[in-house]
Amino acid sequence: MDYKFTSKSVEDTLELAQNIESEKFPGMIICLNGDLGSGKTVFVKGFAHALGIEDNITSPTFTIVKEYPMGETALYHMDVYRIDGAEEFGVEDYFNKDGVCIIEWAELIEDRLPEERLDINFKIVDENTRILIFKPYGTKYEELCNAVL
């Protein structure tokens, strides 16, 4: 079952991410897809802030992975837009850690993603409005969506 959330502002997206963070669990995988400027990195900022991470969160486009071990739980923020294959940086190694992985442009490595995960697709409606479509894979992610959305 898919879930839908309409964000009418950056603040809505930040708040949604903070609410999802409140339901986090070890090994959580969140896959973000959508056009440039659709709100993927804004979502990560909200999630990271809720974890207590005070660093300036930017998209790791050229570094591929930014690790934030100092929050309540470790956060592994990935941007796979510029890679040819996940094997270049051992993406699966991050899936087996106790932290949270958030992957921007995850559809580009779909064949490498774990079966259980949460996909969020961002669609731009206008300058401020975004529609987020949630597709949970697995019971934990279904329960998360039911709790938050």
Q: Residue 9 has which token pair?
A: 């502002």
> Where residue 88 falls among pLDDT bands split at 50, 70, 90?
low
Q: pTM of this prediction?
A: 0.94
Question: pLDDT at residue 85 above 90?
Answer: no
Task: Give Cβ neighbours of residue 110 (< 8 Å, ≥ 6 apart).
Answer: none
> Per DSSP, what are the bridge partners of residue 131?
6, 123
Question: pLDDT of 51-83, one tens digit each?
Answer: 999 999 998 877 789 999 988 899 999 998 877
pLDDT in tens, 7-57: 999 999 999 999 999 999 999 999 999 999 999 999 999 999 999 999 999
Instruction: Count CA within 13 A, CB hemisphere, residue 122.
Output: 29
Domains defined for the chain, CATH in brackets: 3-148 (3.40.50.300)
What CA–CA distance (Å, rounded) separates 34 from 99? 24
C-alpha dihedral over 82, 86, 88, 89, to 10 degrees? 100
What's the chain's Rg over C-alpha atoms?
Answer: 14
> What is the pLDDT, as a whole number, of residue 62?
75
